[in-house]
Amino acid sequence: MNIIVCLKQVPDTETQIKIAGDNQSIVTDDIKWVMNPYDEFGVEEALRLKEKHGGEVTVIGLGPKRVTESIRTALAMGADKGILISDDALEGSDSLAHAKALAAAIKELEYDLIFTGQRGVDDDLGIVGAAIAEFLGIPQLSLIVKVEVSEDGHSVKVERPIEGETLVITSPLPALITAQKGLNEPRYASLPGIMKAKKKPLAEKSLGDLGLDSSAFGLDARKLKILELTPPPARAAGKIIEGETPQEKAAQLAKLLHEEAKVL
Amino acid sequence: MAQGVWTIAEQRDGEIRKISYELVSEGRRLADALGQELTVVLLGADIKDKAGEFGAYGADKVLVADDPRLEPYTTDAYVAVISQLVKANDPALLLLGASVQGKDLAGRLAARLDVAMAQDCTAFAVEEGNLVATRPIYAGKAYAKVTFVNSWPQLATARPKVMAVNEPDPSRTAEVSDATFTLDDAELKTKVVEALRDESGKVDLTEADKIVSGGRGMKGPENYNILEELADVIGASVGASRSAVDAGWRPHTDQVGQTGKVVSPNLYVACGISGAIQHLAGMSTSKIIVAINKDPDAPIFQKADYGVVADLFDVVPALTEEAKKYV
Ligand SMILES: Cc1cc2nc3c(=O)[nH]c(=O)nc-3n(C[C@H](O)[C@H](O)[C@H](O)COP(=O)(O)OP(=O)(O)OC[C@H]3O[C@@H](n4cnc5c(N)ncnc54)[C@H](O)[C@@H]3O)c2cc1C
Ligand SMILES: Nc1ncnc2c1ncn2[C@@H]1O[C@H](COP(=O)(O)O)[C@@H](O)[C@H]1O
C-alpha cells in the first residue's frame, strides 16, 4: 500500500505574530518553522498503516528550501521518501495554486491513500486537501479520527465526528483523508531514525519538472486577495471580581453576568 | 454577469440547523448592500416542507434539491448538485457555514468551480460590488481582510454563532421552487454506513450558547462533575484544554483550541486553565469570557471580561448555587 502525506511547514504555534509594514504579510525573521501539527497525525497514521499493510510512505512539501527540514523530520519518523516542490514562481501563490502543484506531483506517483492535515495552523484555510482530491478525481474524507484499511487494500472505513455524532464512512481507494486531532499520538523521531533519514531519497521538483506553466502561479495569479492584516480586535479591559470569600466572589460574578453581561 | 446572493442551508435528519438561519440573515444584509436577490439552497430527502421557513428570515427564493441520495450529507452528492446549480444560475456570492459539513463542502466546491474560498469568516461586507471577508488567521493572532479577483461566485464560509440571526417576520414569504439537477450513482463513492450518536445529549461546543471548560487545574476526571453541575444550571456544554484531553480526562471532541474546536459562545467560563496561546486560539471570539484561576498571573486573565482569583473547587460550586437565582 503506497501512501502519500502532504506536509506544510508553518510557524510554531507559540510564535508571536507581527504584521509587516506592508500590512499584508507577517514578519518572518524570528519564526521557528515546524511541520503543521495536523500533518504529524498524517505521517503517524501513514507509518502505522505501512507497518500493518506494507508498502511505502512518501512525504511531499511545497514551499521554500527550509521545508526540507520538515520533510527530513518525517523521514526520521520513518517515511521512506521525500519530495520538495520549490520554485521561485510559487512565491505569493494562493492555496488553490498550491493544491494544483501538489496534485501534479502526486499524479506521477502510485498511491492508495493520501493524507493532508485538516487545516494549516497558519492561514487556517483547510482547502488544500479537498482541492487535491478534486484535482485527482478521488473521494475525500475530512476531519478523520479513525482509519481502517480493508484486508484486500481496496477500501477504507473511517470515523468522522460531526456536531453531536460520529459518522462511520466507507470509501473505495484511492482516497484522500484529512487528519484531525484524536487520530493518533505522533511518535518522535529516534536518533537512529534521524541518522537514517539523511540517506533517504529527497527529490526536488520545480513547476517545469511537473509540466506546469509558471504563469498560472505567483502573486498575479491569486484569486484570493489580501487587502489588509490587522491585529486581533482588542478586548476591553476585564474586571477582577472582589470579595472576601469564594462565596462572595461567586455571588458578585453571578450578579454581573446577569445584570451587566446579560448572559445569565 | 454573476447576480444574486446564495446561502447553502444545512439540515440533518430533516431538521434545519441553526447556522442556516445565521447565513440567511447575513445573506439578507449582503443582498441589500448589493441590491440583489437572496436565494437559499436546501438539499435533502423529503425536505421541501421545510423550505417555507426561510422567507421570514429574509430569503427571496428557496431552491430545493430533493433526492433520497441527498440524505445523509456526502461530499460527492452535494458538490455534484451545488456545482450544477451554480453553473446554471451564476450567483455572485455563495455562502456556507464553517461547520464540519460546510468546511468540507466549501473546499471541494472551490476546487470544482476553480474559485477562491474564504474559510471561517467572522464578518462580511460589500465594497464596490465585491465581497470583503474578515477572517482570523494564525489562530486568531491576526485578522485578514480578503477579497476575490476574477473568481465567481465569491465563496466563503461563516464561523458558526458569529452572525446575528434576524427576528423572523412571519408576513414575509419566499418563492419556493424545485432545483433541476442530475446525479450519477457512479459519482457517489463514499457511503455513510453508521451514525454513532453522542448519547450525552449535550450541544456540540461549536454550537453551544455557553461553555464551561476545565483544564489541568481540575486535577482529575472525577472532578468534572462540578463543571457538569454548573453547566446543567446555566444551560452550557462542557469543554476542556488540551492538557485535560491528553491526560485522558476528557474526550478529544471536547478540546478547545488551535488543535481542537474553535468556539464562539456567548459565555465561556475557563476553570483551571492557564490561557496558553493555543487555547486562546480556540475561544477568543467568545462574547463574554470568565476566568477562574488561583494564579493571579495566569495569562487567561488578560483575555477575561471577568476574572476570579480563587480556588475553583470553592468558587465553581458556589457559582452554581448563585446562578440558580437568575435562571
Ligand atoms: C502544537 C500545539 C497545539 C496545541 N493545541 C492546544 C489546543 O488546541 N488547546 C489547548 O487547550 N492547548 C493546546 N496546546 C497546549 C497548550 O500549550 C497548553 O499546554 C495547554 O493549553 C495547558 O492546559 P491547561 O491550561 O489546562 O494547563 P496548565 O497550563 O497547566 O494550567 C493549569 C491552570 O490551572 C490553575 N489551577 C490549578 N489548580 C487550580 C485550582 N484549584 N483552582 C483554580 N485554578 C487552578 C493553575 O494556576 C494554572 O493556571 C497546544 C500545544 C501545542 C504545542
Ligand atoms: N504548501 C504545502 N505543501 C504541502 N502540503 C500542503 C501545503 N499547503 C497545504 N498542504 C496540506 O493541506 C493541509 C491543509 O492546509 P490548508 O488548506 O493550507 O489549510 C495541510 O495540513 C497539508 O497537509
A223-246: average pLDDT: 93
Q: Could you read off the pLDDT of A117-134 as tens digits, one per residue?
A: 999 999 999 999 999 999
Same domain, A146 and A192: yes
Distance between B309 CA and the closest CA of chain A, angstroms: 8
Same domain, B11 and B66: yes
For residue A189, is it within any domain? yes
Q: Could you read off the pLDDT of B94-119 as tens digits, one per residue?
A: 999 999 999 999 999 999 999 999 99
> In which domain, by residue range, is B115 found?
5-187
pLDDT at B55 over 90: yes
Which residues in A23-44 are b (16+ Cβ under 10 Å) and which e?
A: eeebeeeebebbbbbbbbbbbb
Ligand (nearest to CA of B249): 1
* Interface contact flag, A126 B260, Cβ < 8 Å: no
For residue B199, is it within any domain? no
Given pLDDT bands bounded at 50, 70 and 90, which one contains residue B158? very high
Give A-chain residues touching B98 at CB under 8 angstroms.
Answer: none
CA closest to A162 among chain B residues: B100
Mutational test site, ligand 2, from A3, A5, A6, A90, max ligand atoms within 8 Å of CB: A6
For residue B222, is it within any domain? yes
Please name the residue that has the C-alpha cell 506531483. Answer: A105
Which CATH number goes with the domain that contains B224?
Answer: 3.40.50.1220
Distance between A200 CA and the closest CA of chain B, angstroms: 30
Nearest CB neighbour to A253, from listed B114, B132, B319: B319
The reported pLDDT for the residue numbered B28 is 98
Which CATH number goes with the domain that contains A104?
Answer: 3.40.50.620
A177-204: average pLDDT: 96
* Interface contact flag, A124 B120, Cβ < 8 Å: yes
The reported pLDDT for the residue numbered A240 is 96
- B188 contact A CB<8A: no
Q: Which three cell numbers stand for residue A22?
A: 506592508
The predicted complex's ipTM stands at 0.95
Task: Give residue B22's Cα distance to chain centre.
Answer: 9
pLDDT at A237 over 90: no
Q: Residue A138: what are its φ and ψ, rounded to 5°?
A: -120, 160
pLDDT at A227 over 90: yes
For residue A124, is it within any domain? yes
How many whole angstroms separate alpha carbon B175 and alpha carbon B316?
51
Q: Which three cell numbers stand for residue A102?
A: 501538489
Nearest CB neighbour to B196, from listed A38, A166, A255: A166
* Interface contact flag, B278 A250, Cβ < 8 Å: no
Given pLDDT bands bounded at 50, 70 and 90, which one contains residue B1? confident
Number of domains composing chain B: 2
Q: DSSP of B37-88, one letter per residue?
A: -EEEEEEESS-GGGGGGGGGGT-SEEEEEE-GGGSS--HHHHHHHHHHHHHH
B235-258: average pLDDT: 96
Measured over the CA atoms of residue B289, residue B292, residue B297 and residue B298, the dihedral's sign is: negative
Same domain, B23 and B165: yes
Which CATH number goes with the domain that contains B85?
Answer: 3.40.50.620
Mean pLDDT over the full length of chain B: 96
- A126 contact B CB<8A: yes
How many whole angstroms separate alpha carbon B189 and alpha carbon A83?
29
Given pLDDT bands bounded at 50, 70 and 90, which one contains residue A235? confident
Same domain, A247 and A208: no
Give A-chain residues touching B321 at CB under 8 angstroms.
Answer: 250
* Interface contact flag, A228 B144, Cβ < 8 Å: yes
How many whole angstroms separate alpha carbon B301 and alpha carbon A28?
28
Element (H, E) at A51: helix A37-53
Q: Could you read off the pLDDT of A50-98 as tens digits, one per residue?
A: 999 999 999 999 999 999 999 999 999 999 999 999 999 999 999 999 9
Number of domains composing chain A: 2
Mean pLDDT over the full length of chain A: 96
Residues 173..192 of A with a Cβ closer than 8 Å to B: which? 175, 181-182
For residue B92, is it within any domain? yes
Q: Could you read off the pLDDT of B165-216 as tens digits, one per residue?
A: 999 999 999 999 999 999 999 999 999 999 998 877 789 999 999 999 999 9
Q: What angle do CA B277, B283, B289 make, to 5 degrees?
A: 105
The reported pLDDT for the residue numbered B83 is 98
